[in-house]
Amino acid sequence: METSDPSLAQLGWKPFFSEQLSAEQRSHCQPVRVMSVHRGRVTVLGEGFEDSISSNLATPGGAEDRPTVGDWLLIDRDTSSLVRILDRTSLFKRPAPGDHRRVQLIAANVDTLFIVTSCNQDFNIARIERYLVLSREAGVRPVVVITKADLSPDPQRFVDAARELQSGLRVELVDGRDPTSAARLAGYCGLGETVALVGSSGVGKSTLVNTLRGSDSIATQAVREDDGKGRHTTTVREMHRLVGGADEGGWLVDTPGMRELQMSDVATGVTEVFDDVTAVTLECRFSNCTHGDEPGCAIHAAMAAGNIDPARVERWRKLAQEDAVNSGAAAVRRSRPEKPGNRR
């Protein structure tokens, strides 16, 4: 994390946040942004202020009513205690691995999501689609960043495969260790902009952050040659500032690699990412068609005619069913009071 004293504008402050402040809060509270999250505490940065404070609200709420990296907080000017979490422009979250009754917050107030993959065994269409669903649901611009271009004899085939996922999808091919190659990504990280990087361990997220910052402060590790997998080098979600030149004030959020990415409350995102499939379903004879053995199923007709990829339909079906199951579980969870001992 950069420790110099940035302005609110450089931190990403926008009218959306200032409009939430009452006159009393303007006089007694200071806005700060969450740079990193640790158990029970958050590191925050504001104009002339940097500290680690308790993340506990005076009146605790549900799982989403606790700060995550990228959040804007109001703290008391005299006591530095947390007063409130400002409403977010965007929020990335997922069901907690191993316990879908809980939700894990990933990052808030993100402008662009770098979906980072690489030119090796990590490249996985289904995984990219899952990140695209998260991005569309949050209303954040997705960019697929394909790293390790120097390791493939034909890196363009990875670019072509990613671009086929969605019309107009931005795809960037880079060598994350080469400043000249990575420089094309700097345009997404302008003054006050926040870019989060997500992807599996070993795809080069931390290397990319180091290169864009002109630093080697974030530890990196090599991947295993036999399966292309890497270890979890990044263990904490943390914001890193880009400094120098026209890009001064941009922020990068490095996130730990995710082995499991379950979907919940992302029906809109699924519809947008698979708009070609959902458009066909509107032509089914029955509105409640399950696209199984029903007569007049437009999905089956389109697959038989070669107009739609059966593998893509199967991925859509799996994500839609997963979202329905997990969203139902989330609704039950929200209807129950949260016990203090379960807050994480």
Selected residue with higher pLDDT from 109 and 264: 109
Q: How confident is the model at residue 247 (pLDDT cuts 50, 70, 90)?
A: very low
Q: Give 93 or 227, the one with higher predicted confidence.
A: 93
Q: At what angle do helices 310-335 and 125-138 cross, to 10 degrees?
A: 50
pLDDT 10s digits, 124-176: 999 999 999 999 999 999 999 999 888 889 999 999 999 999 889 999 999 98
Of 196, 205, 136, the closest CA to residue 174 belongs to: 205
Radius of gyration of the chain (CA): 21
pLDDT at position 222 over 60: no
pLDDT value for 120: 86
**pLDDT one-digit tens code per residue, 79-95:** 999 999 999 999 998 87
pTM equals: 0.82
Of residues 186, 183, 156, the one with CA closest to residue 171: 156
Rounded to whole angstroms, the Cα distance separating 31 from 54 reads 15
Query: Which residues contact residue 77 at a Cβ distance below 8 angstroms, ignoring those fewer than 6 apart?
Result: 28, 29, 30
Distance CA 289, CA 296 (A): 9
pLDDT of residue 122: 86
Other C-beta atoms within 10 Å of 218: how many? 18
Band (pLDDT 50/70/90 cuts) for residue 315 is very high
The 10s digit of each residue's pLDDT in 7-40 is 999 999 999 999 999 999 999 999 999 999 988 8
DSSP codes of every residue in 126-173: HHHHHHHHHHHHHT-EEEEEEE-GGG-S-THHHHHHHHTTSTT-EEEE
- pLDDT for position 28: 93
- pLDDT over threshold 90, residue 257: no
pLDDT beyond 70 at 244: no
Q: How far apart are CA 21 and CA 233, in angstroms?
A: 38
Confidence of residue 307 (pLDDT cuts 50, 70, 90): very high
Query: Which of 274, 283, 199 shows the shortest CA–CA distance to 234?
Result: 199
**Hey, how many other C-beta atoms are within 10 angstroms of the C-beta on 287?**
7
Instruction: Note the pLDDT of residue 341.
Output: 45
Look at residue 230 in the predicted model and tell me its pLDDT: 43
Instruction: Find tokens 């990087």 and name the residue.
Output: 197
The answer to whether the beta carbons of residues 46 and 37 sit under 8 Å apart is no
**pLDDT of residue 337 exceeding 70:** no
Q: How far apart are the first and last CA of the chain?
A: 23
Question: 245: number of CA atoms within 13 Å, CB side?
Answer: 10
